[in-house]
Amino acid sequence: MELPPRFLERMRGLLSPISPLEYERFAAIYQEPPITGIRINTLKLSPDEFLNLSPFPLEPVPWAEDGFLVTAEMRPGKHAFHTAGLYYVQEPSAMAAAWALRPAPGERVLDLCAAPGGKASHLAAHLQNPREASRGKLPEGFLLANETHPSRLLELGSNLERLGVRCAAITQETPARLAEKLGPVFDRVLVDAPCSGEGMFRKSENARKEWSTDLVQRCALRQDQILESAARLVRPGGLLVYSTCTFAPLENEGTVLRFLERQGGAGVTFHLEAPPPLPGWSGGQPAWAADPSGWAVSVGTGLRPAPTTIDLGLTRRLWPQQAPGEGHFIACLRRGGADPEADEQPAAREGRRSRRLPRAESQDEAAALRLFEQFRAQCAQDALPGESQGRIVLAGSRLYWLPGNAVDLQGLHTLHPGWWLGSITQKRFIPSHALAMALNSKSGSETRPYSQQNISLEPDDPRLAAYLRGEELSSAGEDGWLLVCVAGYPLGWGRRVQGRVKNELPKGLRQA
């Protein structure tokens, strides 16, 4: 594998002083194949439940209890369990960001740079507690997944849909515009920043070809701008996590240092705090913020030695020669100041937040709700959380479920304002694929009748391959919509007419 000479020059300057052999170990790792990881989607099943089903040999990821290394040369993205959303193929070091942010059910969370959706869906798994929130015992949180690039927006939506995320809205906005429109309304914000992608070199030839010292500088400038906007979206007392998949100090310790040195406007301050334990990760390098390693580049006001009050050692780095991952950087930044909601009773807090939801009381909405309730009674009785957890709204011809603490997205470019339930077409309710994928039919040993009408196929059933190709199936029974499942987990809808099941799997998801 041919790596950029200037990249190697910089890494030698960084690592050789740490240990005479550290740079050699780092360079040698690029002669080995990249690591394949999967993160179990706990919205659908527990890690232990998946281990009982897994067609792959797996080893645990030390810092993620729902993460595993695939230890054989297999393609987990091609298996029917992937189509069913039982796991997400994810680089192991990328699994740490959601653990660092550690949201809880009931909170508002923003993933500012969310595509392709791996970290966003991981955050949703924390917010949308599958064992409790779905039964109304705990409130679901609200996740805003934002992406600026139109070409990546649909991929984000598709992944959140496949994984059964129902507590999220998806927007396409600049960070600055979100900050202007929404203000400090989020308990936790993740900035998985666009970066020079050095941690992707083993997996991506394009990342190696596109890398340059100029790219590193441009990324650092952009990261400065994104963090400034992100800070304006965090409530007092809230948490901001900054992460990258690069080794460049200019984009890591340097970006954090510049952010902390610039803060203080309008009384807003942040401070670094240690993330939860991440086995195999090491602390950041304060000295590197002053000299990003042999070819220091000035950005903005330049890089200076870190003040003693800013402990950049509280940031975290993963090195591929030290732990099973491709490389990552994480910084946890806590906003100072009192939370004006902290002393409120939970009911008062949630009630005040809920009033921000649009109230579209119309004859069209009432008619759409009746059509949905008819479908729900036949096919998905227990599909929704308790009524106290949110409400259904009509947007155009589409019905959505909005969590009770969703923010007002009026005036923003929105792909989905919530969980898309389906559409009203010619006075009929047509269920969405997103509805099918969030109807978890299993929870441990308990079977939940989320769809009274279903066909469950085993992984080796030839009808399963036929369904994934978009073909019709034969099935005796009552006419109407039904859920097609693999091992009890939803794959998509079918529509039975006189013993034939018309395939309703979206064409873009069908396999050749």
**451-499 confidence digits (pLDDT tens):** 567 899 999 999 999 999 999 999 998 899 999 999 989 999 999 999 9
Our answer to whether residue 245 is catalytic in this structure is yes
> How far is residue 451's CA from residue 287's CA, in Å, rounded to a whole number?
58
Tell the residue number behind the tokens 């496949």, with chain if given: 162
Task: Name the amino acid, one letter, at 483.
Answer: L
Joined together, the tokens standing for residue 102 give 């550690």
- Percent share of the chain, pLDDT over 90: 72
Interaxial angle between packed helices 213-231 and 253-262, expressed in degrees from 0 to 180 and rounded to the nearest 10 = 40
> How far is residue 48's CA from residue 6's CA, in Å, rounded to a whole number?
45
Lowest-confidence segment of 42-46, 220-224, 256-260, 299-303 by average pLDDT: 299-303
Domain containing residue 510: 453-512
Residue 485 sits in a domain whose CATH number is 2.30.130.60
pLDDT of residue 445: 40
pLDDT of residue 512: 78
Lowest-confidence segment of 352-361, 367-376, 494-503 by average pLDDT: 352-361
Across the strands, what pairs with 317? 282, 329
> How far is residue 366's CA from residue 396's CA, in Å, rounded to a whole number?
13
C-alpha 180, offset from chain centre:
23
Higher pLDDT pick, 435 / 454 = 435
Higher pLDDT pick, 357 / 418 = 418
pLDDT of residue 450: 55
> How far is residue 355's CA from residue 353's CA, in Å, rounded to a whole number?
5
pLDDT of residue 266: 59
Q: Which of 24-28, 132-136, 448-452 has the highest mean pLDDT?
A: 24-28
Lowest-confidence segment of 110-124, 146-160, 344-358, 484-498 by average pLDDT: 344-358
* Domain count across the chain: 1
Is 479 inside a domain boundary?
A: yes
End-to-end Cα distance, the chain: 32
User: Given phi > 0 = left and psi -120 to 50 = alpha, else beta, which region is 477?
Assistant: left
pLDDT, mean of residues 151-163: 95
Average pLDDT, the chain: 87
What is the 8-class DSSP label of residue 112? T
Is 272 inside a domain boundary?
A: no
pLDDT of residue 134: 47
Is 187 inside a domain boundary?
A: no
pLDDT at 425 over 60: yes
Is 295 inside a domain boundary?
A: no
371, with CB counted inside 10 A (0-12, 13-18, 19+), is middle
pLDDT of residue 357: 36
Is 485 inside a domain boundary?
A: yes
Is 447 inside a domain boundary?
A: no
Task: Name the amino acid, one letter, at 388.
Answer: S
pLDDT of residue 307: 52
pLDDT, mean of residues 228-239: 97
Starting at the edge strand found earlier in the chain, the sheet holding 37-40 runs 58-61, 64-70, 37-40, 87-89
> Exactly one of 245, 332, 379, 485 is catalytic; which is it?
245
Starting at the edge strand found earlier in the chain, the sheet holding 454-457 runs 454-457, 480-486, 489-497, 500-503, 473-474
> How far is residue 389's CA from residue 403's CA, in Å, rounded to a whole number?
6
Strands 489-497, 480-486: parallel, antiparallel or unpaired by DSSP?
A: antiparallel
> How far is residue 150's CA from residue 138's CA, in Å, rounded to a whole number?
34
Instruction: Look at residue 401 and give its three-state secondary structure.
Output: strand
The closest alpha carbon to 317, from 261, 257, 275, belongs to 275
pLDDT at 387 over 80: no
pLDDT, mean of residues 389-412: 92
Higher pLDDT pick, 295 / 7 = 7
Strands 186-192, 108-111: parallel, antiparallel or unpaired by DSSP?
A: parallel
The closest alpha carbon to 91, from 186, 218, 204, belongs to 204
> How far is residue 201's CA from residue 219's CA, in Å, rounded to a whole number?
17
Higher pLDDT pick, 511 / 348 = 511
377, with CB counted inside 10 A (0-12, 13-18, 19+), is exposed
In tens, the pLDDT along 60-82 reads 999 999 999 999 888 999 999 99
> How far is residue 334's CA from residue 237's CA, in Å, rounded to a whole number?
7
In tens, the pLDDT along 187-207 reads 999 999 999 999 999 999 999
Q: Provide the pLDDT confidence category of residue 444 given band limits of 50, 70 and 90.
A: very low
Interaxial angle between packed helices 150-162 and 118-127, expressed in degrees from 0 to 180 and rounded to the nearest 10 = 40
pLDDT of residue 336: 93
pLDDT, mean of residues 93-119: 95
Is 470 inside a domain boundary?
A: yes
> How far is residue 375's CA from residue 23's CA, in Å, rounded to a whole number?
61
Is 499 inside a domain boundary?
A: yes
